[in-house]
Structure 1
């Protein structure tokens, strides 16, 4: 295996549907640092929306994208439909993309989360344990870290900064996937 980095094509083949029903192809994320998080509006971790938004405002001009995936699999903490979720996000001044509501575990888990869990392993099990599990993906499409729901995004800003400051080299190999929660 060479020392050169290559884009992780599997990541860029993924797609989702945004909360307006439009296709969101991950190929448009090529060369960006990405945080993917399962979100909920009625969760004890919901204030993380504010921290994610602050990070998005600061680092999106430098190549960061955040994708929020509403999920109602944990204690029914995201009961709303797409319009209600969009209204909630608008009221919180969330401007990063919010996707269609998904399942993150089980046979009906969205392919994005099936893929992320295979790349960013959890503690004891790969299943998502709660809302606000966060996956940090580098500019080459490699999952470099998985953060537990209770890990505030502000606590890993240094890692985000390191990744957004990294130059994209389309001939390089992505680093091995990291483990976390």
Structure 2
């Protein structure tokens, strides 16, 4: 029996539909997952940057990888806000963040001169994870294992790739993915 006949039989049995639930599928970011509280007050909505790739990075001020803020700012400067948006998500999920959003904002401005969009202090793991991270876990099986996990979304808000803490913001394997999105 040929492949087409096998598929037809599976469809008739409903197996294909059941199996498709397990197949990985790219899903655009749902609206509720796109909204964060901004560190400056108000809301920060990722859909405001639709049409541009977005790199979302969970951060912490007392982490051994905190110097990556410099690379994140350099990445934003390299591509410019019209091409790429780098969003930082301060989090105390790994017990390494300052006590208040005001302290985080001041720390980042004084030490790194950041002008990147920044959320309020936000949980990124577990039952209290922000809807963005819950969506990422549910749809892609990705959850930050540590601070400075980088998640790349394409211009339509679909997951592209992620990198752990040890991948520096200007690493070629990360910038190649950004470049590929910008040449589409």
Indicate the TM-score class for this superposition, using the shorter chain for normalisation: 0.7 to 0.9
1:96-135 CA deviation, whole Å, 9 max, x = no partner? 111010111111111111112234434xxxx321101110
Larger Rg: 2
CA–CA distance in structure 2, aligned partners of residues 154 and 112 of structure 1: 24
Q: 1:159 aligns with which of 164, 172, 177?
A: 177
Higher helix fraction (1 or 2) = 2
* 2:99 is the counterpart of 1:80: yes
Mapped contact 1:53–1:95 kept (Cα < 8 A): yes
* 2:121 is the counterpart of 1:105: no
- Structure 1 unaligned residues grouped into runs of 5+: 1-6, 167-181
Instruction: Give the paired residue count.
Output: 156
Higher relative contact order (CA 8 A, sep 6+): 1
Give the structure-2-normalised TM-score: 0.78
Mapped contact 1:120–1:144 kept (Cα < 8 A): no
Mapped contact 2:37–2:43 kept (Cα < 8 A): yes
Q: How does 1:9-88 map to 2 (within 5 A)?
A: 10=30, 14-74=34-94, 76-88=95-107
CA–CA distance in structure 2, aligned partners of residues 9 and 80 of structure 1: 29
Query: Cα distance, 1:151 vs. partner?
Result: 1.1
1:136-157 CA deviation, whole Å, 9 max, x = no partner? 0011211100111111121111
- Structure 2 unaligned residues grouped into runs of 5+: 1-26
Mapped contact 2:55–2:152 kept (Cα < 8 A): yes
SS at match of 1:151: coil
Mapped contact 2:56–2:150 kept (Cα < 8 A): yes
SS at match of 1:154: coil
Q: How does 1:72-151 map to 2 (within 5 A)?
A: 72-74=92-94, 76-91=95-110, 92-122=112-142, 127-151=143-167
Give the structure-1-normalised TM-score: 0.79
